[in-house]
Chain A
Amino acid sequence: MMDTMAIALGIRDALRRFIIGLVLYLAILLALPYSTPIFSALFPQLERPLYQQQTFAKLVAAHVMLVLVASFVAMVVGIGAGMFVTRPRGREFRKIFETLSAMGQTFPPVAVLAICVPVIGFGFWPAFVALALYGVLPIGENTVSGLEAVSPAAKEAADGIGMTPIQVLRRIELPLAAPVILAGIRTSVTINIGTAAIASTVGSVSLGLPIIVGLNGNNTAYIVQGAVLVAGLAIVVDLGFEALLSRLSRWKA
């Protein structure tokens, strides 16, 4: 009884934190275009203290779009690969998968992003490819460890009542592995939000743009505006995952 209440409160808390964070973020986003007086007071030496090349809403949308599309591809590939190497027919490829994943994750994301430019060129695509490639690794790794952690007894029981291997995967293994897979997606998305910001240096539009323009033009106000929006986005998304994870663990309990 106490436990159920505590868990219920936990969900409420995580969800509430996410909603508060989201509302706060949107409020900042809406207020920022009208914040010229604040920034001119903070940085009196600057002639144009507010970034106006693009609207902030547009930059947030472009940033979220880039991360969303790349993470979606990373999820499909990562979960697919993780499922494949844990099936009997794919087990042989497990070692290669692990090598690739361990090696790839030591590569700094910013270096992966830079290397994509000579191969692909400037713009949206190198950023997309770098984010998708890098995003696959934590998701794939967690899919494997999540599926491996499913108790053999549960699988045998499902097998015993006549489920096909696909049914066992869909109804038993994936739901039980979901929290671990979701944790991998969270890691992947968190890294990608940061890499997407740096992707402004390879010519793609994201919230990193005010920061890069500010750094090149010595405009600290632009840097602060970009940095606040990037940091806020990362924190809000992380709170969202926190809320989602606590929901999932409630189902499990």
Chain B
Amino acid sequence: MHRPDAPLGVAVHNRPMLALATGVLLAGMLLPFVAHAPNRLVSGVALQLWQVPDVWSCVALIPALPLMIGAFLRQTGMVLWGLLAAAIVLPVGLTHVAAVSAEALSLSAESKSARTSLGSGFWVMILATALMIPDLTARMGLSPKVRLFVSCVAIAPLAAMVLLGHLDAMSIMKEYTNKAALFHAALIRHFVIVLGALVPTLLLGVPLGIIAFRRPAFGGPVLAGLNIIQTVPSIALFGLLMAPLSALAARVPLLQSIGISGIGLAPAIIALTLYAMLPIVRNTYQGLGEVPPQVVEAARGVGMTPTQVFWHVELPLALPVFLAGLRVTVVQAIGLAAVAALIGAGGLGSIMFQGLFANALDLVLLGALPIIGIAVAADAIFNFALISLQRTKT
């Protein structure tokens, strides 16, 4: 119930903010902030924010107080900017405390293999602040581009801390230092798998989408077939491709000599291409379908050839829908490439699964967190492209 004029004179003007700030404070006080294991054999001990060796640790929680108080204030421009500033500072402080505590803990530990990892409290607080920022920028009525810029400003200091080595005492960064060469190779391999699937998808999918649009009798069955493929879980499709491919490679030495076999890159790229086809074909088809027929006729009327109509009228108008399809394809492919590690394709998924099979949890995170980061970044880039397109259109 929203009551701006409650009898006590205290009114909540921003209930989501109140809920999230309360969540931050509760997570900060009750949930483990970091976990520390003095060596590899002992299981970790969970430490709360007030238990970590950094004396000033609780200062990091201070921005949560103005966030909480701000929920009771009238949401004027000034208040909103203040809240935004506090929401940007909060995760920076928390990350700094985590880094400093990890350093102190690893110095005091008797073994070099002491590990300090981030606890659930840290992650909950980061998630809660990550949810505050879009809500605040939407309340401020900022344009989509400025909103995206604000998100970048919020992420920049955290990324800088990771890149500049401030977090090097955390166990995941130690794992990274140990496996830097392997990690970089896996990272590049991940991009190779995704791009390797994207190129054939675009070369095949776009023409297929155009043909499907021009000849609906052909388009229906193609889309239905691609829909069925999309339904098949990735791990099953990888498995089903393995047997015929290895049989094929065994029979045809030429294929084997160019590196095609049942495991590795070939089945991964084929499977990813098959998955990626549906969003590309469908959205090319839908994008062309959304071009108003009057526009096409007008273009023909002024004497454009069919080729000109396609390049100068249909393609630009279909572009936003097509890009939305490409966005789905790319984000999906980044995740599927991780599963492809199971069939020996390499990539960041191989680090993740290696960690899962060896019960090395930092290794799991070293694989999984960058996969999520790349997917989110790719999504943001497409978001930016779509926003820019919309602006040039109006």
Contacts and interface: CB of A to CB of B under 8 A. Distances in A.
Nearest to B19: A93
A121 to B, nearest CB: 10
Contacts of A220: 242-243, 246, 262
Interface string A69-106: 00000000000000000001100110110011001001
Contact of B239 (A96, A119, A227, A238): A227
Nearest to B14: A92
A180 interface: no
Interface in B114-162: 117, 120, 130-131, 134-135, 138-139
Nearest to A98: B134
Given A89-B2, A114-B356, A108 B235 contact: no
A146 interface: no
Interface in B282-306: none
Nearest to A190: B231
B274 interface: no
Interface stretch (A24-32, A169-177, A196-204): A196-204
Given A100-B131, A114-B352, A227 B372 contact: no
A215 interface: yes
Contact of A201 (B234, B334, B353): B353
Given A230-B236, A234-B233, A224 B243 contact: yes
Interface in B316-332: 331
Interface in A203-232: 208, 211-212, 214-215, 220, 223-224, 226-228, 230-231
A212 B246 CA distance: 18
A197 B240 CA distance: 14
Of B239, B338, B368, the most chain A CB neighbours within 10 A belong to B239
A208 B239 CA distance: 10
A193 interface: yes
Contacts of B105: none
Contacts of A193: 233
Interface string B1-33: 110000000000011100110000000000000
Contacts of B134: 95-96, 99
Interface stretch (B96-104, B181-189, B357-365, B386-394): B357-365
A49 to B, nearest CB: 12
Interface residues of B, number: 57
Interface residues on A, range: 35 or more
A110 B262 contact: no
A117 interface: yes
A166 interface: no
B272 to A, nearest CB: 13
B52 interface: no
A114 B352 CA distance: 7
A129 interface: no
Contact of A211 (B232, B239, B359): B239
Contacts of A2: none
A231 B231 CA distance: 8
Contact of A108 (B2, B237, B371): B371
Interface in A124-153: none
Nearest to B337: A108
Given A111-B352, A230-B233, A234-B233, A96 B135 contact: yes
Given A96-B20, A201-B353, A224 B240 contact: yes
Contacts of A42: 243
Contacts of A99: 131, 134-135
B349 interface: yes
B376 A111 contact: no
A235 interface: yes
Nearest 4 A/B pairs, CB to CB: A108-B335, A194-B233, A227-B239, A230-B236
13 contacts: A108-B336, A110-B338, A111-B369, A114-B364, A114-B368, A194-B233, A197-B236, A198-B233, A211-B239, A214-B239, A227-B237, A228-B236, A231-B232
Given A223-B239, A234-B231, 17 more contacts: A89-B2, A95-B135, A95-B139, A106-B331, A108-B336, A110-B349, A111-B338, A114-B356, A117-B356, A122-B359, A194-B235, A197-B236, A198-B235, A212-B342, A227-B236, A234-B233, A238-B231
